[in-house]
Amino acid sequence: MDKSSKIYIAGHRGLVGSAILANLKSRGYSNFILRTHRELDLKDQLAVARFFEEEKPDYVILAAAKVGGIIANNKYRADFIYENLMIQNNIIHQAYLNNVKKLVFLGSTCIYPKEASQPISEDALLTSPLEYTNEPYAIAKIAGIKMCESYNIQYGTNFLAVMPTNLYGPNDNFDLEKSHVLPALIRKVHLGKCLEENDWSAIRLDLQYRPIEGVDDKSTEDEILYLLNKYGIGKAADQNISIEIWGSGKPMREFLWSEDMADATIHIMESVNFLELIDVTIDKEVRNTHINVGTGIDISIKELALLVKKIVGFKGQFWFNTEKPDGTLKKLTDVSKLHSLGWKHKVEIEEGVNLIYNWYKRYQKK
């Protein structure tokens, strides 16, 4: 890649896309094509075709996606499969038609079977059933992998697919219904601490920038308390503040700092080509050329909650609601392929939780 290469980042305002843009700038790249959702609806086939024909990017990073946690994935199943398939199909196909030199597609490790052997290697793809709650999203991401492989095989393109583990970092989504587990925990524990300390100015500041179901800083205390209680933040029988966490707390999860993910993506964009991921002398069937991106280290949801509690300074208690789903009990990636390609993560989970909580307090507004 040349520093003046024309680079299109789809989803440049999101958690990963914003980190990728910052990383590229730090490396001296300067020729970016950026469009907000308002400027370019990636689900619109004609609009995407017109955009590629006019702009002719040299490189494409496909970080745009509809994402969410276990609640959103299970509730909005049709939205997740439709929107992600449309975004991927439009961008990958237009990248081929417009002779893009290289494309990197970002997926998710939820592509793997629910009962996959641990740690999960790339070869586990499509070996048994998926976890039910995120099946539509996972199928969309699997389709993206297969599109990249298929276009490479048929047309000789250089399209790569990377599958990050659970990501967190600056510009994360802290919506209590639609966010992933770590940002949801950060916000719930932060609000629980504010409630514990009767710090209504801090609660109202939080709701000023991130209203929940129309409840904001101008709502009454009763309205706010009702809303917080709905999302599992309220007083227990002993009058201490209690926070509900879905499931048993036993599931193990792996977390990757978003700026590490950005660094891995650019490393792969600069240093890896599709043909290097296969051995044409023995691979009669080309499969599983995607690359896991993670830390190879996991932590239980309960341990994670206790870590967040310590860092935030919350003194209350957690209530693990076992009537709610746990999801997959263990999902740890095998990152040996990634390491063999010359990249390893830098930020460990405790440092990362400190970083994201400090960011959350500094940048209340999303």
Q: Which two tokens stand for residue 75?
A: 């509730």
Closest to 152 in 3D by CA, of 47, 288, 261: 288
CA distances from 26 to 3, 23, 352 (A): 11, 5, 20
Q: Is the previous residue joined to 119 through a cis bond, with omega within 30 degrees of 0?
A: yes
CA distances from 82 to 39, 79, 137 (A): 20, 5, 9
100 with 148: CB under 8 angstroms?
no
Report how far residue 105's alpha carbon sits from residue 265's, in angstroms, rounded to the nearest whole number. 9
Angle among Cα 148, 151, 154 to the nearest 5 degrees reads 145
Report how far residue 20's alpha carbon sits from residue 12's, in angstroms, rounded to the nearest whole number. 8
Q: Which two tokens stand for residue 137?
A: 């999203």
Q: Which helix (H) or strand (E) holds 192?
A: helix 181-196
Phi, psi of 103 (to 5 degrees): -130, 140
Report how far residue 298's alpha carbon sits from residue 253's, in angstroms, rounded to the nearest whole number. 5
Where does residue 7 fall: left (phi above 0), alpha (psi -120 to 50 degrees), or beta otherwise? beta
CA distances from 224 to 6, 193, 203, 217, 288 (A): 48, 15, 9, 9, 48
Q: Decide if 137 is catalytic.
A: yes
Report how far residue 292's alpha carbon sits from residue 163's, in angstroms, rounded to the nearest whole number. 5
Secondary structure letter of residue 68 according to DSSP: -
122 with 336: CB under 8 angstroms?
no
Q: Which two tokens stand for residue 363?
A: 């940048």
Catalytic residue (one of 29, 59, 76, 137) = 137
Catalytic residues: 137
